[in-house]
Amino acid sequence: MIYNPSPIAVIIFLLFVGITVGLSFYLGKQAKSSEGYFAAHGQIPWFVNGIAFAGDYLSAASFLGICGMIAFYGYDGFLYSIGYLAGWIVALFVVAEPMKQLGKFTFADALNSKFDSRGIKLAAGISTLAVSVFYLIPQMVGAGVLVQPLLGLPHWAGVVIVGAVVIVIVVTAGMMSTTWVQFLKGSLLVIFSTVLTVMILERGFEAKPGVDQVQTVTKTADGQTLINGLPKGTGAGDTSLTPVGHISKLPAGASNTGPLGPLDFLRTLRKSEVILWSSEKITADDGSVTTTYTPKPTPGSEVLRPGEHPKFKGIRGDNLLAKFNFLSLMLALFCGTASLPHILIRYYTVKDAAAARKSTIVGIGCIGFFYVLTLYLGLGAMTSGAMDITNSNMAAPLLALSMSELLFAIISAIAFTTVLGTVSGLILASAGAVAHDLVGSFTSVELTDHEQVRIAKIASVVVGVIAIVLGILFQEMNVSYLVGWAFSVAASANLPALVMLLFWKGTTKQGIIAAIIVGMTSSLGWILLSADTYSKVYGWPASEAIVPFSQPGIVTIPLGFVTLVLVSLMTSKE
Partner 1 sequence: MNSRNSRIGMALFAVYLLLYGGFVLLNTFSPTTMEATPIEGINVAIIYGFGLIVSAFVLALLYGLLCTKEGDEQ
Is 365 a binding residue for partner 1 by CB under 8 A? The answer is yes
According to DSSP H, which parts of 45-154 are helical?
46-57, 60, 67-73, 76-90, 96-102, 107-112, 118-151
Environment class of 502 (CB within 10 Å of its CB; exposed 0-12, middle 13-18, buried 19+): middle
Percent helix / strand / coil, the chain, rounded to 5: 70, 5, 25
Are 107 and 379 in contact by the 8 Å Cβ rule? The answer is: no
The piece of 21-29, 367-375, 423-431, 489-497 that touches partner 1 (CB under 8 A) is 367-375
Is the CB of 183 or the CB of 326 nearer to partner 1?
Answer: 326
Residue 462: how many other CB atoms lie within 10 Å: 15
- Grouping H, G, I as helix, E, B as strand and the rest as coil, residue 250 is coil
Site for partner 1 in 486-545 (CB under 8 A): 502-503
Q: Which of 155, 203, 358, 457 binds partner 1 (CB under 8 A)?
A: 358
Is 166 a binding residue for partner 1 by CB under 8 A? The answer is no
Rg (CA), the chain: 24
Q: Which of 2, 14, 101, 202 binds partner 1 (CB under 8 A)?
A: 101
Are 163 and 429 in contact by the 8 Å Cβ rule? The answer is: no
Q: Which of 202, 238, 280, 352 binds partner 1 (CB under 8 A)?
A: 352
Q: Which of 157, 195, 372, 537 binds partner 1 (CB under 8 A)?
A: 372
Is the CB of 84 or the CB of 180 nearer to partner 1?
Answer: 84
Is 371 a binding residue for partner 1 by CB under 8 A? The answer is yes
CB of 371 to partner 1, least distance (A): 6
Q: What is the dihedral of CA 400, 406, 409, 411, to 10 degrees?
A: -40
The piece of 31-39, 368-376, 451-459, 515-523 that touches partner 1 (CB under 8 A) is 368-376
Is the CB of 226 or the CB of 565 nearer to partner 1?
Answer: 565
The piece of 59-67, 181-189, 236-244, 350-358 that touches partner 1 (CB under 8 A) is 350-358
Q: What is the dihedral of CA 143, 462, 480, 532, to 10 degrees?
A: 130
C-alpha pair distances (Å), 219 with each of 173, 186, 237, 388, 554: 46, 39, 18, 17, 39
CA nearest to 155, candidates 473, 398, 418, 422: 473
CA-angle at 566, arms to 561 and 572, nearest 5°: 120
Q: How many residues does the chain have?
A: 574
Site for partner 1 in 276-305 (CB under 8 A): 301, 304-305
CB of 344 to partner 1, least distance (A): 17
Is the CB of 352 or the CB of 544 nearer to partner 1?
Answer: 352
Is 551 a binding residue for partner 1 by CB under 8 A? The answer is no
Q: Fill in the per-residue mask, 78 to 97: x = in contact with partner 1 (CB under 8 A), - = not in contact.
A: xx-xx--xx-xxx-xxx--x
Is the CB of 152 or the CB of 306 nearer to partner 1?
Answer: 306
CB of 92 to partner 1, least distance (A): 6
CA nearest to 513, candidates 452, 560, 443: 560
Is 323 a binding residue for partner 1 by CB under 8 A? The answer is yes
Q: Which of 12, 364, 398, 518 binds partner 1 (CB under 8 A)?
A: 364
Q: What is the dihedral of CA 244, 8, 61, 518, to 10 degrees?
A: 140
Positions that interact with partner 1 (CB under 8 A) = 75, 78-79, 81-82, 85-86, 88-90, 92-94, 97-98, 101, 263, 266-267, 270-271, 301, 304-307, 315-316, 323, 326-327, 330-331, 334, 352-354, 357-358, 360-361, 364-365, 368, 371-372, 375, 502-503
